[in-house]
Structure 1
Amino acid sequence: MELKQYIEKVESDIIFKMEKRLYQSQERLSFLSDFAQFSPAEIRVNANVFMWHGRMPAVFEEHKLIISEKRSQYEDNLKVRPQ
């Protein structure tokens, strides 16, 4: 239950704070790119950092699906009574 509550808090509140910080990081990186060249590896790493928020809706949906399945399994196990 704690994990479920935490994910709900992340989805409704924390994700927006993280996106704001991501935007600020993007601005800083843009500034740095005017003065330095990045290697292909650095570019890939930075690209992955900026793409994480696009994957988050799928992560939240997967979490909801897992919670639903586990809840259903738990309820089914409660219905089965030993005789």
Structure 2
Amino acid sequence: MQAIIEHDRSRATTYAPSLPAYLDAFGEALPAAGRLGVHENTLRCRIRRVQELFGLDLDEPDTRLVTWLQLRLHQITS
């Protein structure tokens, strides 16, 4: 997840906060987008892009869990 966080810092993207919102909403774009204050299609695009860039398979339950945990830990320690 450090790669995602560094990508956000260097390129002014917002993948790191988008992922936990999406995962907290059980993969539902509409409530996650509402929480972030963006259009649902914007969030869907972000999620697709982060999967492409970082090789995440968010259809895989273990990947979702590990991704969520790593991002939460980063939020807690930051």
Mark the structure with the bigger radius of gyration.
1
Greater share of helix residues, 1 or 2? 1
Which one has more relative contact order, counting CA pairs under 8 Å at least 6 apart?
Answer: 1
